[in-house]
Each structure stands twice: as structure tokens, then as C-alpha cells.
């Protein structure tokens, strides 16, 4: 996708966010909003910030399904960590290990690493070309990541682009 599509999409997104956050329909405020959106888009274009990483349009349609799946994972993982905290014996088993990341693009790896960190019980410590350095609270967390389900889903989300 070219700069024109990304630029237009960014300007529209910014204008919509301005309107949703202000809620005013006076000509002055709408004008100021359009002006700000246009200025920011122009600055971002000049700084060459608008590309598939800064404004990942290609993820728009696949992302919602992934979010639903991730929400469910987050709720499940929260339940496990809450159980551990409330257990009088505090049955933690902290471990550090690496898992392979099969994503081809940087943004795919970032999504994978952030999804891991967002799930309580696992934190991503470092990202390299081919794998991630993970700290997990329990053996279950390690097994869950090593099953590779999240890795596969993020790679599918990333697609071919």
C-alpha cells in the first residue's frame, strides 16, 4: 500500500478521534480538528513515519478476532495468577527460557511479544531475530507458550504483507 492510502487513512482516523473526544459540532472546533489532523499527517509524512509499521492498515480486518481470542487468554491467565497469589503457600516456580518467534516482520514480533507480556504469568524480556526471551511465573505458563498456539495465531494475523 502506498503513502497516499496510509496518509488519508491516518488523517481520517485523527479527525474521527478528535471529534469523538471533543463531542462538539461548532464550526470553529471542527475546523481546528481538521487543521490539527492535516498538520499532524503532513508532519508524519515529512518525517517518513507513515508506513505499514506506523499505521498497520493491513491488520484492520484480522485484528478483532485475534483480540477476542487474546481477551479470553488474558482472563484465563488472570484466574491462574490470582489463585497463586491467594494460595497461602505461594506455589510459584519462576523460570526463564526462550521460545521461537515465527513472525517475518518486526511488527509481527512486537505483537507476539506484547501479547505474551499482556497475559499475566508471562513476561517478554528480550526480542531477537528468531526468538523471544521469556520469564514465566509457573511451569504451566512455560508449557502454554511452548505449545506454540499464540505464535501460530500471531503469524496468521500478520499475514503475507
Partner 1 sequence: MISTVLDSLSWLLLLSGCACLLISAIGLLRMPDLFTRMHAAGIGDTLGAILVLAGLMLQAGLSITLVKLVLILFFLLFTSPTACHALARAALAGGQKPLLAENLNTENPISESSPTEQPLP
Q: Should residue 89 be labelled a site residue for partner 1 when binding is judged by CB under 8 A?
A: yes
Nearest-approach distance from CB 104 to partner 1, in angstroms:
21
Q: Should residue 157 be labelled a site residue for partner 1 when binding is judged by CB under 8 A?
A: no
Contact region for partner 1 (CB under 8 A) — 38-46, 48-56, 95-103, 145-153?
Answer: 95-103
Contact region for partner 1 (CB under 8 A) — 26-34, 36-44, 74-82, 100-108?
Answer: 74-82
Q: Should residue 117 be labelled a site residue for partner 1 when binding is judged by CB under 8 A?
A: yes
- Interface characters, 10-29, with partner 1 (x: CB under 8 A): -------x--xx-x------
Q: Should residue 68 be labelled a site residue for partner 1 when binding is judged by CB under 8 A?
A: no
Q: Cell numbers for 114, please give them.
A: 506484547
Q: Should residue 37 be labelled a site residue for partner 1 when binding is judged by CB under 8 A?
A: no
- Burial code (b: 16+ CB inside 10 Å, e: under 16) for 39-75 equals eebeebbeeeebeeeebbebbeeeeeebeeebeebee
Instruction: Please name the residues in contact with 119: beta carbons below 8 A apart, sequence gap of 6 or more.
Output: 70, 73, 74, 77
**Cβ proximity to partner 1, 15 vs 137, nearer residue:** 137
The contact set with partner 1 (CB under 8 A) reads 17, 20-21, 23, 71, 74-75, 78, 81-82, 84-86, 89-97, 113-115, 117-126, 135, 137
Amino acid at each position: 500500500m502506498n503513502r497516499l492510502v496510509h496518509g488519508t487513512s491516518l488523517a481520517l482516523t485523527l479527525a474521527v478521534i478528535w471529534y469523538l473526544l471533543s463531542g462538539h459540532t461548532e464550526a470553529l472546533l471542527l475546523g481546528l480538528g481538521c487543521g490539527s489532523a492535516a498538520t499532524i499527517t503532513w508532519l508524519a509524512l515529512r518525517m517518513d513515519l507513515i508506513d505499514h509499521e506506523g499505521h498497520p492498515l493491513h491488520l484492520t480486518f484480522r485484528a478483532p478476532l485475534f483480540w477476542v481470542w487474546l481477551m479470553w487468554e488474558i482472563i484465563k491467565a488472570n484466574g491462574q495468577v490470582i489463585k497463586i497469589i491467594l494460595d497461602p503457600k505461594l506455589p510459584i516456580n519462576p523460570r526463564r527460557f526462550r521460545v521461537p518467534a515465527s513472525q517475518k516482520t518486526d511488527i509481527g514480533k512486537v505483537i507476539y511479544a506484547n501479547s505474551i507480556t499482556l497475559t499475566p504469568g508471562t513476561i517478554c524480556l528480550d526480542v531477537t531475530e528468531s526468538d523471544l526471551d521469556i520469564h514465566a511465573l509457573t511451569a504451566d505458563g512455560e508449557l502454554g507458550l511452548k505449545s506454540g498456539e499464540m505464535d501460530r495465531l500471531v503469524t496468521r494475523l500478520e499475514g503475507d504483507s
